[in-house]
Amino acid sequence: MKHYEVEILDAKTKDKLCFLDKVEPNATIGEIKSMFHKSHPQWYPARQSIRLDPKGKSLKDEDVLQHLPVGTTATFYFRDLGAQISWVTVFLTEYAGPLLIYLMFYFRVPFIYAPKYDFTTSKHWVVHLACMCHSFHYVKRLLETLFVHRFSHGTMPLRNIFKNCTYYWGFAAWMAYYINHPLYTPPTYGEQQIRLALTVFLFCQIGNFSIHIALRNLRPPGSKTRKIPYPTKNPFTWIFLLVSCPNYTYELGSWLGFTLMTQCLPVAFFTLVGFIQMTVWAKGKHRSYLKEFRDYPTLRSPILPFIL
């Protein structure tokens, strides 16, 4: 059996960082990263980007050496991805924040509103309903992070946690300040508007959870296998017939329901910003599906059926 010689160069300077002798042909990029880590302990595997070209795409950990377009002396280029943090840690942090921050405004802890309002409660029942819906949403997200989601990548750059928390925590505070404000006024059309909004919110929350379960069941534990998601027996998943990322469709619907329920401008703005970001993610996911699967259903749109 022939063995490979592997040299790893710095992608920026082209300096030789490491030379590995007698590497097995069936060695994966993940195993090569571990070997590289032994000679450079400061660069743990999750921090490494190994590529065939200095400006090319990162190779996947499961890529096998003998299946790559390299000779028996293989040259790879290394780029430092920076300090990494687990996706689970990021999600738990960015979702726990809005839950606790909103409740601080709901209970009107001191130094938020005028002292006479400290620890008082709103006279409007929609304020209490909105708190229950907001709390339910983020408790659901926390539980899904712990027990449902399977992440294809174990880590993300550490800087993301600051960016994500600023977004989620900041918007939660902005929304909660106005919804729980002593001068808050209920929606224009009263109880009818609130009941309709609650129905939309709960419907979309159930739909979002159903999609997350369907996506989880596509990927066996510990696997990075990607498959085309299809509708299951659960009616909430039938939207897969028309949309590539229905989890984002239902997420948008939930926040539209919450906007209708509270009739609050900061909530509407959060919904708009979230929709723009989710559209970017959905289009990217849709493109990768089309690229990876030749038989991908052509009827599907990224996030909104027939529109977007």
Judge if 292 and 191 occupy the same domain.
Answer: yes
Judge if 125 and 137 occupy the same domain.
Answer: yes
Q: Provide the domain count of the chain.
A: 3
- The answer to whether residues 199 and 208 touch, using CB atoms and an 8 Å cutoff, is no
| Rounded-to-integer distance, Cα 85 and Cα 90, Å | 7
pLDDT recorded at residue 224: 67
Model confidence at 225: pLDDT above 80: no
Q: What is the pLDDT averaged over residues 102-131?
A: 94
Judge if 78 and 50 occupy the same domain.
Answer: yes
| Rounded-to-integer distance, Cα 98 and Cα 104, Å | 10
Judge if 50 and 127 occupy the same domain.
Answer: no
Judge if 194 and 239 occupy the same domain.
Answer: yes
Judge if 61 and 78 occupy the same domain.
Answer: yes
Quick one: pLDDT band at residue 27, thresholds 50, 70, 90?
confident
pLDDT recorded at residue 248: 97
Task: Give the CATH number, domain containing residue 50.
Answer: 3.10.20.90
Exposed e or buried b per residue across 99-112, where buried means at least 16 C-beta atoms within 10 angstroms of its C-beta? bebbbebbebeeeb
The overall average pLDDT reported for the chain is: 91
pLDDT recorded at residue 269: 97
pLDDT recorded at residue 186: 94
Query: Which of the listed residues 145, 168, 185 is the one where a domain comes to its end?
Result: 185
| Rounded-to-integer distance, Cα 202 and Cα 200, Å | 6
In percent, the amount of the chain with pLDDT more than 70 equals 98
pLDDT recorded at residue 55: 85
DSSP 68: S
Q: List Cβ neighbours of 20 (8 Å cut-off, separation of 6 or more).
A: 5, 6, 7, 8, 32, 35, 36
Judge if 285 and 204 occupy the same domain.
Answer: yes
Judge if 174 and 259 occupy the same domain.
Answer: no
Query: Which of the listed residues 65, 82, 99 is the one where a domain comes to its end?
Result: 82
Q: Find residue 6's DSSP bridge partners.
A: 20, 74
Of 12-16, 182-186, 206-210, 282-286, the range with the lowest mean pLDDT is 12-16
Judge if 150 and 192 occupy the same domain.
Answer: no
Of 89-98, 150-159, 233-242, 261-270, the range with the lowest mean pLDDT is 150-159
DSSP string of 235-296, one letter each residue: GGGGGGGTBS-HHHHHHHHHHHHHHHHH--HHHHHHHHHHHHHHHHHHHHHHHHHHHH-TT-
- N residues, the chain: 308
More reliable by pLDDT, 59 or 264: 264
Q: pTM score, two decimals?
A: 0.84
Quick one: pLDDT band at residue 1, thresholds 50, 70, 90?
low
Quick one: pLDDT band at residue 21, thresholds 50, 70, 90?
confident
pLDDT, tens only, 128-172: 999 999 999 999 999 999 998 877 667 888 888 999 999 999 999
Q: What is the pLDDT averaged over residues 95-105?
A: 96
pLDDT recorded at residue 158: 85
| Domain range enclosing 175 | 83-185
Query: Which of the listed residues 17, 50, 82 is the one where a domain comes to its end?
Result: 82
Judge if 33 and 141 occupy the same domain.
Answer: no
Quick one: pLDDT band at residue 73, thresholds 50, 70, 90?
confident
Judge if 102 and 159 occupy the same domain.
Answer: yes
Judge if 198 and 167 occupy the same domain.
Answer: no
pLDDT recorded at residue 152: 67
